[in-house]
Chain A
Amino acid sequence: MRTKILAALVVVGPALLLAPVERRIQAERKHLKYGGIPVTRQVREVIGQGTAMALLAGFRGVVADFLWIQSQTFWEKREWLRQYRNIELVTLLQPQSVLFWDVGQWHMAWNIAYGARTDPANRTEAAGIKREREWQERAREFLQRGIENIPHRYNLYFAMGWLYWQKFSKWQPEAYARAAEYFGRALAFPDAPLSIGRLYAHALEKAGRKRDAYAYWKMLWENKNQPHQAWNVVEREVKRLENELKIPENERVFLPSRP
Chain B
Amino acid sequence: MTERVGFSMGRVGTIAVNTFTESVRQKVYNILLIFALVAIASASFFAQFSFSEQLKFVKDFCLGALSVFGALIAIVGTAQMLPAELENRTLYTILAKPVRRFEFVLGKYLGSVLLICVSLLIMAVMFGGVLWFKEHKLVADALAGATGVPADELPQTIRQIRAEAFDSDLVKGALLIFVKLGLLAAVTLLVSTFSTSMVFNVAVTLMVFVAGHLRGPAAEMWAHRPVALALLAAVPDLGAFNVADDIIIGNVIPWRHVGLVAGYGLVRIVILVWAAHLIFSRREI
Contact = CB atoms under 8 A, between A and B. Distances in A.
A195 B157 CA distance: 12
B133 to A, nearest CB: 19
B156 interface: yes
Given A21-B264, A25-B261, A65-B56, A98 B272 contact: no
B249 A57 contact: no
A72 B47 CA distance: 13
A123 interface: no
A105 B208 CA distance: 40
Contacts, number: 151
B213 A99 contact: no
Interface of A: 3-4, 6-8, 10-12, 14-16, 18-19, 21-22, 24-26, 28-29, 32-35, 38-39, 53, 56-62, 64-65, 68-69, 72, 94, 96-99, 103, 153, 193-195, 228, 230, 233
A35 B246 CA distance: 7
B61 interface: yes
Interface stretch (B77-85, B105-113, B136-144, B233-241): B233-241
Contact of B57 (A12, A38, A65, A103): A65
B226 to A, nearest CB: 10
B274 A10 contact: yes
A64 to B, nearest CB: 8
B230 A22 contact: no
B214 A56 contact: yes
B237 A22 contact: yes
Given A22-B219, A56-B214, A228-B155, A94 B237 contact: no
B34 interface: no
Given A28-B257, A38-B217, A65-B56, A12 B234 contact: yes
Given A61-B245, A65-B56, A12 B233 contact: yes
Q: What band does the interface of chain B fall in when counting residues whose beta carbon is under 8 Å from A?
A: 35 or more
Given A7-B190, A18-B267, 17 more contacts: A10-B275, A10-B278, A11-B275, A14-B267, A15-B234, A21-B267, A26-B220, A29-B240, A32-B253, A35-B239, A59-B64, A60-B242, A62-B64, A96-B249, A103-B50, A103-B53, A193-B156
Contacts of B156: 193-195, 228
A68 B52 CA distance: 13
A35 B251 CA distance: 10
B215 to A, nearest CB: 8
Contact of B268 (A18, A69, A230): A18
Nearest to B217: A38
A32 to B, nearest CB: 7
B263 to A, nearest CB: 8
B194 A25 contact: no
Contacts of B242: 34-35, 58, 60
A14 B271 contact: yes
B96 interface: no
A102 to B, nearest CB: 8
Contact of A99 (B56, B230, B246): B56
Contacts of A16: 230, 233
A56 B210 contact: yes
24 contacts: A3-B279, A10-B278, A11-B275, A15-B268, A18-B268, A21-B264, A22-B219, A22-B240, A26-B216, A26-B220, A32-B252, A33-B251, A34-B243, A39-B217, A56-B210, A58-B67, A61-B56, A61-B64, A64-B60, A65-B56, A69-B46, A69-B57, A103-B50, A193-B153
Interface string B151-163: 0110110000000
Given A21-B264, A38-B217, A58 B234 contact: no
